[in-house]
Chains A and B, each alone.
Chain A
Amino acid sequence: DAGVIQSPRHEVTEMGQEVTLRCKPISGHNSLFWYRQTMMRGLELLIYFNNNVPIDDSGMPEDRFSAKMPNASFSTLKIQPSEPRDSAVYFCASSSGTRVDEQFFGPGTRLTVL
């Protein structure tokens, strides 16, 4: 198995632009998580999907952030419009239903908003 796949690995954009991050979870996993990591705050859970349905989105910072999971093998995290304070590493993780808290992380997307 290739593990959790994220794209792009690096993204540099200008303030105000739309940014879309993509994630392919491990095949067979039915839970998917989006995290943001910064030096100041560490890892923060943004949103959690179970069987493609958003279960907990209390960590989504504001309306500029949205996430979708149209099917079991794909999810997106969109920021529109982006701001410099959104600069961070965004991780996607997935887990199986039997051990929902045993998460496998992707390599992350490093986002820089100028």
Chain B
Amino acid sequence: KNQVEQSPQSLIILEGKNCTLQCNYTVSPFSNLRWYKQDTGRGPVSLTIMTFSENTKSNGRYTATLDADTKQSSLHITASQLSDSASYICVVTGGSYIPTFGRGTSLIVHP
């Protein structure tokens, strides 16, 4: 069964600090992995997408990494801001093109 596991479930950090969110998956075959940011009361918005051949991809202060061999991904947030407070969802798509969602990491950035 295709699964996506995220850790930690929740995280509290101080503004300006860095943090890293983890995603492990068992989806096979693998097509791509996407990180979404979901602000409270809104729908998820895509941050990055990574295919099998990509190891690192950045979007501003967000950097995603992918290790397709170990089936792990991470999302690193640099110099966090209050607006980074949100839920971050890892989504993996396999051969069926139907995505499998993780349950998300809830990030709270305190001033």
Q: Contact residues of A with B, CB < 8 Å? A: 4, 41-45, 48, 56, 91, 93, 100-103, 105-108
Contacts and interface: CB of A to CB of B under 8 A. Distances in A.
B98 A91 contact: no
Interface in B73-111: 89, 93, 97-99, 101-104
B43 A56 contact: no
Nearest to B36: A105
18 contacts: A4-B43, A42-B89, A43-B44, A43-B89, A44-B101, A45-B101, A48-B98, A91-B44, A93-B43, A101-B32, A101-B97, A102-B49, A103-B99, A105-B44, A105-B45, A107-B42, A108-B42, A108-B43
Contacts of B31: 101
10 closest A-B pairs by beta carbon, nearest first, are A105-B43, A42-B103, A101-B93, A43-B101, A100-B97, A105-B44, A101-B97, A91-B43, A106-B43, A108-B43
B20 interface: no
Contacts of A101: 31-32, 34, 93, 97-99
